[in-house]
Amino acid sequence: MFSRKFYSIIILLIFGMACSPTSKKPTPKSKVISTPKVVMPKKKPLLLAEPSLLLNEDNAIPFLFEYQKQELPSQVEISTRFGNITIELFDDAHYHKANFIYLTRLGYFNDTFFHRVVPNFVIQGGNSDHPNTSKKRRMIGRYLLPPDVKKGLKHHRGIVSMPSSEMDNPHRLASPYEFFIVQQKGGAYHLDGNYTPFGKVIQGMEVVDAICAQEIDSREAPIDNIKMRVKIVE
C-alpha cells in the first residue's frame, strides 16, 4: 500500500502540471498597407476672369456704354496654327469694340474655332461644337448688339465685322460672340449697311488667306478644326 505522503506528492505533481502556463504561439500582426491618396487635378476654369454681371438684352448696352468709357486697348492678336492675325479695333465702333475687348479679357474666344470658311469671301470665328463654348456663353449672358452702320464704314478686304444673330432677328442685331474677316480680294461691299465693321487686320492677312484655303464640308465648316486664342496687345 502506498503511503499517504506518496499520494500527496502525486496530487501536487498533477496539480502543478495543470497550472503551469502554456506557451502561446505568437500571432502574426496584420500588416497595414497605406493606400496612397488620389489627388484629383483641379479643373481649369473656363474663363480667365469672373464676368462683371450676367448680361441680357436689358443690361448689355448700359454695361458696354459704361465699359467703353475707360481707356481700352485698340489691338488684339488672334493665334492659330497657321500663324497670328493682329487686329486694330475702331474707336468709333463703341459698343462693338468694348464688347470684343470685354470678351477677350474674359478669355471667351480661347479654344473657339474659325468655324465657317467661305472661299474668296470671309472666315468667321468665335464658335465651336465643344460644350465648353456654350457653357461660357451661359456664364457671360444672352444678349445681342444693335448694328451701327451710319458711320459709312466699308467692308474692304481685311475688315473685321460682326454677323447677324441666328435668333429671330428682323433688325439684323449682331451676335456678340462671333465675328468675320473679309478675305475677298477687292472687298465685299454688298455687306455695307447691313453689318457693323469694328476693326481691320493690320498684320497677318496671309494667315487669313491660308485659313480661307482650307478644305470645308457642305456646311462651310473646315474639315480640320481651326482653333484660336485671342489676347490683348498692350
For 25-48, the pLDDT digits (tens) are 555 555 556 666 666 667 789 999
Dihedral-angle region of residue 206 (phi above 0 means left; psi in -120 to 50 means alpha; beta otherwise): alpha
Question: What's the CA dihedral at 151, 153, 159, 165 to 10 degrees?
Answer: 60
Residue 86 makes CB contacts below 8 A (sequence gap 6+) with 75, 76, 77, 78, 201, 202, 203, 204, 233
pLDDT at 22 over 90: no
CA gap 229, 37 in Å, rounded: 35
Q: What is the per-residue pLDDT across 185-220, written as a single tens digit (0 to 9) for each?
A: 999 999 998 899 999 999 999 999 999 999 999 999
For the chain, report the end-to-end CA distance as a whole number of angstroms. 122
Phi, psi of 145 (to 5 degrees): -115, 140
Least confident range of 44-53, 95-104, 148-157:
148-157
DSSP state of 14: H
Q: What is the per-residue pLDDT across 100-145, written as a single tens digit (0 to 9) for each?
A: 999 999 999 999 999 999 999 999 999 999 999 999 999 999 999 9
What are the start-end ranges of the H helices in the chain?
A: 4-19, 60-67, 94-106, 131-140, 205-212
Output the pTM of the full model.
0.80
C-alpha Rg value of the chain to the nearest Å: 37
The pLDDT value recorded for residue 27 is 56
Q: For the chain, which domains are there?
A: 78-229 (2.40.100.10)
The pLDDT value recorded for residue 31 is 58
The pLDDT value recorded for residue 150 is 75
The pLDDT value recorded for residue 7 is 52
The pLDDT value recorded for residue 173 is 80
